[in-house]
Chain A
Amino acid sequence: MVTPDRLAALFNAYHTPLVRFLTRRLGDRDEAEEIAQETFVRALKQETIASERSWLFAVASNLVRDEARRGARERKRHELIRVREEAESSVEPGPTSMERDEDRALARQAIEMLGERDREALLMREEGLGYEEIAEALDLSLASVGTTLSRARRRLMEAYESLQQERSAERA
């Protein structure tokens, strides 16, 4: 069983990248932190964890999918909270923050247009996971990780460009 000390070490090492991965995946920081917390609680119940990082990311990904199955009601609530927060925090936004907001919205739309596996592989890679870890976390063959990542990157870029062109056309 994972000891509290070991859990603390795991937490110290992986909490930040895990929350960042989940935040990128979900677009909601609070939900990301909740799922990260649940991930570490589950780690505590494990007898042994062979590959810690890939295990944590795999469990977090599974929890995200479980969360998605629980229905849209909760997500709507979070969306309302987020909208409220953005409304509260949008005090005199400068032009750069507007550009950032626009970039973020486009990035969010583009990332949502990817397939589930492509998205998770890409986000895991961006968190520094190696090909072996990604293969283990997503139950892929090692040889297919490169193909998955190249497809994810290409589709993400194409989706982003397409959204940008739509945005430009709307403004024109």
Chain B
Amino acid sequence: MTDDRPMDATEHPDEGLIHAWLDDALSAAEAERLAAHVSTCAECRARVAEARGLIAGASRIVAALDDVPAGSRPGWAKSAIAAGSAGGAAGVDTSEAEGGAASVPKGGGSLWRRLRVTPGRAALAATILVAIGITLTYDRVAIDSSTRTTAVSVLNPQQSDVPAATSPEGAASEAAKPRDALLDSAVAKNVRIAQGKRRLEPARGPAVPAAPPPGTAHEAEAGAAGQAVALGRAAEEARRESAPVMADRARADVAGTAPTQPAPRATAAGVSEMAPPSAPTAETGAAVQRRQAFDGAMMAKTSANAVARSCILLESPDPDARWADQPFPLVLAIDAGAPDASRNAAVLTPSGEVTSLRAQWSPRGGDSVAVLLRRIGYSGSIALGPESGTRAGVAVSAAATTQLEQVVVSPAPAGARAESRRAAAPSAASAAPPAGPPVRQLRVTARAVGCPAR
């Protein structure tokens, strides 16, 4: 930021400045001044906590927009990428631009989308037509050749020891070779087009900011909000890195590195386009076999790594401990799936009765786990440490005015909060902090148990 004017110790930073601070967009000096102020101002600490909630909540809402029907990159785009890779045209920080995210392919798609004509599909159609034409030509040549050979053999029996390639079977075999190569090429291209359907992955970049430390002192609101944001970030990362996505990404990498990509060429307009239909003839059935073998291996690996449905008993030594509206102890019945991926879980009573709660079991780094509450009207989470027989952790939950489970904001209605914010304007230095009641943190332990009978 260019606004480096000194901030008076009694002057409260405006909301924009707080957001800029949390977005790490302030200069070091300005950030230091703001941190010093926040460390001594309870009102501003509450506003910082609220701003964190707003940033995390807005990121989550924006990320929800990503769940749209996936299209595919246009053919010219693929060629452009190939040109960039082949030509070594680097110089752009991809990781920054992608926000650390990569496109992953997505199967399926509607009939309408599948029928949509794109340059890539037009090229595929042309390739198939040419392949069919060449195949028919080869067949015709083979038939003519075998007819002539047979006629020669009949007319000249002494020449019957002609090479096998000129016999009818040999001619057919020779003709089959280029035909199979072309068909393999067409099939492989079809597979590549089908696998090329892309799904946009939610951005990771600034979605949940790595906020600078707000100071030496932390109030319960700030701590709870920070923990909620951290849990939300961990859960979101775990969800994005789930096994199917990794498998698709790996498959995309293989497809991208397989020697099947037609060489791009620049048009007069300078935009790369698909290579002429004859280019893919370099591709053979081996590429398809490799891809199929890889797919099979990935599927086998995925199924081999999957774990069965399991149950975790959650207990709390705290009195009147509840998660949302359900008293502890509770049983999480975690769906089967990849062990390192987020999995949905039913929340049961120890006797096996289904409660109104749902949860998401999200493994994090270091064998810790975040359990996110799925219950309309409540927000909550449980952070569990590494397993050593049992896991120890902390559970939080509260009735929410927002259903965003990672967000901890004031439970007052939006209008009332707006009023309280106006009352807490910088000029009103003596106004009371607008923060809501602190979220109660419960100690919990988790251990694996047999699942109750359904």
Contacts and interface: CB of A to CB of B under 8 A. Distances in A.
B310 interface: no
Interface string A86-97: 101100000010
B54 A153 contact: yes
Contacts of B69: 29, 82, 85-86, 89
Interface stretch (B98-106, B324-332, B383-391, B429-437): B98-106
Given A14-B92, A153-B54, A111 B62 contact: yes
Contact of A37 (B77, B200, B270): B77
Interface string B199-236: 01111011100000000000000000000000000000
Contacts of A75: none
B55 A153 contact: yes
A44 interface: yes
B15 A147 contact: yes
Sorting the interface of chain B by its residue count into under 10, 10 to 19, 20 to 34 or 35 or more gives 35 or more
Given A20-B66, A150-B54, A127 B271 contact: no
A106 B403 CA distance: 12
B89 A37 contact: no
B83 interface: yes
B136 interface: no
Interface string A38-71: 0011001000000011000000000000000000
Contacts of A164: 402-403
A111 B66 CA distance: 13
Interface string B1-28: 1110000000000111111100101000
Contacts of A13: 92-94, 97-98
B206 A126 contact: yes
Contacts, number: 230
B422 interface: no
Contact of B3 (A82, A104, A143, A161): A143
Nearest to B19: A150
Sorting the interface of chain A by its residue count into under 10, 10 to 19, 20 to 34 or 35 or more gives 35 or more
Contact of B58 (A4, A17, A152): A152
Contact of A23 (B59, B65, B94, B271): B65
A115 B203 CA distance: 22
Interface in A107-147: 107-108, 110-111, 122-123, 125-128, 130-131, 142-147
Contacts of A28: 68
29 contacts: A4-B83, A5-B89, A6-B89, A9-B84, A9-B89, A9-B91, A13-B93, A13-B94, A23-B200, A33-B73, A37-B77, A40-B271, A41-B269, A44-B271, A84-B112, A89-B109, A126-B63, A128-B96, A143-B1, A145-B16, A146-B16, A146-B17, A149-B23, A150-B19, A150-B51, A154-B54, A156-B57, A156-B58, A160-B61
Given A20-B202, A29-B200, A126-B59, 5 more contacts: A4-B266, A12-B94, A81-B112, A147-B15, A164-B402
